[in-house]
């Protein structure tokens, strides 16, 4: 067997072997009392946008596509979700201090306005998560209203 064939065979064995190592799934069974929808009145149109474009990376309940079980992509996805939840977790929003909640609403409005969220790496594959100009205006208006309402 040539060196080239040995390398290809070795890579194939490694790729198959890593498929058996799967990261933990980010899927909660129930909505906690600290979820933003339980802490604030979230209008249905805002909720629909958040579910479609934000919750996969910023909540405790990710909807996983078919390719989420293929390594090394699953590890990348798990790390991406972990970082997203560290920055903002809608499932734990009620645990944030009043000041942090206000700052998060302000930051979310700014990031949506500037096109920073959702990430282009996410919307590249999840085309349904792309925010239309109308979606952006709905979110920005709601985030701003919520920021102003927090004392």
In this prediction the pTM is 0.81
110-129 pLDDT, tens digit each: 999 999 999 888 888 888 89
At residue 76, the pLDDT reads 80
The count of C-alpha atoms lying within 13 angstroms of the C-alpha of 37, restricted to the half-sphere facing its C-beta, is 15
CA distance 120 to 125: 9
At residue 8, the pLDDT reads 81
Q: What percent of the chain has pLDDT over 70?
A: 96
At residue 90, the pLDDT reads 95
Average pLDDT of span 40-54 = 94
Cα separations in angstroms, 106 against 1, 8, 66, 95 = 62, 51, 34, 17
At residue 47, the pLDDT reads 95
User: Which tokens in the block code for residue 65?
Assistant: 């596509």
Ordered alpha helix ranges (H), the chain: 3-18, 36-39, 44-53, 55-58, 73-87, 98-113, 120-123, 133-149
pLDDT of residue 78 exceeding 90, the answer is no
For the chain, the domains span 3-149
Of the two residues 8 and 92, the one the predictor is more confident about is 92
14-39 pLDDT, tens digit each: 777 767 767 677 777 787 899 999 99
């Amino acid at each position: 067997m040539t060196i080239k064939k040995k390398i290809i065979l070795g890579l194939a064995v490694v790729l198959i072997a890593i498929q058996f190592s799967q990261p933990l799934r980010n899927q909660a069974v129930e909505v906690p009392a600290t979820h933003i929808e339980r802490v604030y009145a979230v209008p249905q149109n805002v909720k629909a946008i958040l579910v479609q474009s934000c919750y996969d990376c910023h909540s405790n309940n990710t909807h996983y596509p078919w390719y989420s079980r293929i390594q090394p992509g699953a590890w990348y996805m798990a790390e991406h979700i972990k970082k997203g939840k560290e920055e903002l977790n809608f499932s734990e929003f009620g645990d944030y201090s009043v000041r942090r909640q206000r700052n998060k609403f302000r930051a979310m409005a700014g990031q949506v306005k500037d096109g920073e969220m959702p990430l282009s790496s996410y919307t590249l594959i999840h085309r349904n998560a792309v925010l239309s100009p109308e979606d952006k205006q709905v979110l920005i208006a709601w985030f701003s209203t919520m920021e102003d309402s927090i004392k």
